[in-house]
Amino acid sequence: MRKCSLDSLNSVFAKIAEAMALYLPVDGSDGRAVFSKWEDGSVLSNALNTVRSPKDFFFPQSEDLMRFKTEGKNIEIIDIRPESEDFAVFGVRACDVKSFDILDRVFLTEPCDSYYASRREHGVIISLACTRPSETCFCQAFGIDPSTPAGDISCFKTDNEMYWQANTEKGEALLKAIESLTEECTDEAVNEQKEKIRAIMKKLPLASLTTNSFGGGKTTELFDRPEWAELSEACLGCGTCTFVCPTCQCYDIKDFNTGNGVIRYRCWDSCMYSEFTRMAHGNNRISQKERFRQRFMHKLVYYPENNDGLFSCVGCGRCLSRCPISMNIVKVMKKLGGESK
């Protein structure tokens, strides 16, 4: 483990930025934290987390996939993706780091999504342990320990120091690059901080939330539960929960006629939208209740069923803060029996 003083953090960031683009949470003009590219003078936000999740770096909201050019009877397919360059994302919280495991299983299994894979390959994730979790946090229900985040490098911020621990080869290489600006140290202070955070986690209002009632094999038990009607009653059908979610990964692929060719692009889609997965026979989820149910069944039942019991929620709490009607996965879980008494 290595450390640097918080006073010298800016020069460490500068050093990393010499080698690759560095993104970190800074306070935006509206006061909310947003991942921004580091430049001299960037100040690391004190906010617990960003409104948008770091999934954006690997799975952007919209991206051009390819271009088609027609000449006579020939169609030329042009790969228009830009060359991927190395980049680092600093300040990723434990919940969001976990979200990459969930996205990887979707995008990196065959057929592998080469757009996503290329970014994963070039991206270095530098996580940051939480010191002041929010009442909306429930990562522990999914077995995540916010005091000990994973990632290529794990960072721990104390009152005066930033501690750096490499977990992967990529992480080792990056720590090597900033070696002159950091010093070798023991993990005493970090361990002390971890204990404090774990004690706080026990005091959080959502500490008793459990996943016991959910998981693979629960489809028939949960699908027709009458509570879905009440839970979805006020849902506006907007896409806020899905778009701020670090694990939602549904997308749509569309062709855009440029006048002299076609650009094929993909963009995030939301199961909350009325035209989601619309097929030739029409729509297979005709009411908001069915769309709403799909989102939560996917996270709590279908995904774990297909992925060795891994839930596709990390308890980051973004949907709790941002849903216009304050309906969210915690309320769904509690209503359907997800609280330990």
Partner 1 sequence: MQKITKEQLIERASALLRDGTVNHVLGWAQGEFDYDITPAVFSDESSLTGNFVWNDFCGANFSKYLVSKCRTLEGKILVFLKPCDTYSFNQLLTEHRFDREKVYAIGIPCEGMADIDKVKAICGDGISSIDCSGEKLSVTSIYEDSPISVNTADVLTERCVNCKSKKHVAYDELLGDEGDILDSARFDEVAKIEAMTPDERFAFWQNELSRCIRCNACRDVCPACTCEVCVFNNPKSGVENKAPANSFEEKMFHIIRAFHVAGRCTDCGECSRVCPQNIPLHLLNRKFIKEMNECYGEYQAGETVGSKSPLTDYTLEDLEPGEVFDRGDINA
What are the residues binding partner 1 (CB under 8 A)? 28-32, 34, 48, 51-52, 61-62, 132-136, 200, 203-206, 230, 233-234, 236-240, 242-244, 252, 254, 256, 265, 267-270, 273-275, 278, 320, 322, 324-328, 330-331, 334
Q: E strands within the chain?
A: 2-5, 21-27, 33-37, 62-71, 74-79, 87-92, 123-128, 153-157, 161-166, 183-184, 251-257, 262-268
**Between residues 140 and 182, which has the closer beta carbon with respect to partner 1?**
140
CB of 323 to partner 1, least distance (A): 8
CB of 319 to partner 1, least distance (A): 10
CB of 269 to partner 1, least distance (A): 6
Q: What CA–CA distances, in Å, run from 319 to 227, 237, 267, 272?
A: 20, 14, 20, 13
Which helix (H) or strand (E) segment is 333 a member of?
Answer: helix 329-335
**Between residues 173 and 229, which has the closer beta carbon with respect to partner 1?**
229
**Between residues 184 and 275, which has the closer beta carbon with respect to partner 1?**
275
**Between residues 162 and 323, which has the closer beta carbon with respect to partner 1?**
323
**Between residues 165 and 247, which has the closer beta carbon with respect to partner 1?**
247
Residue 306's nearest CA partner among 76, 54, 105 is 105
CB of 122 to partner 1, least distance (A): 23
Quick one: how far is CA 2 from the chain centroid? 27
CB of 99 to partner 1, least distance (A): 17
Task: Compute φ and ψ for 139, nearest 5 degrees.
Answer: -60, -30
Residue 298's nearest CA partner among 252, 235, 248 is 248
CA 314/CA 15 separation, integer angstroms: 32
CB of 67 to partner 1, least distance (A): 14
Residue 125's nearest CA partner among 18, 7, 16, 44 is 16
**Between residues 205 and 309, which has the closer beta carbon with respect to partner 1?**
205
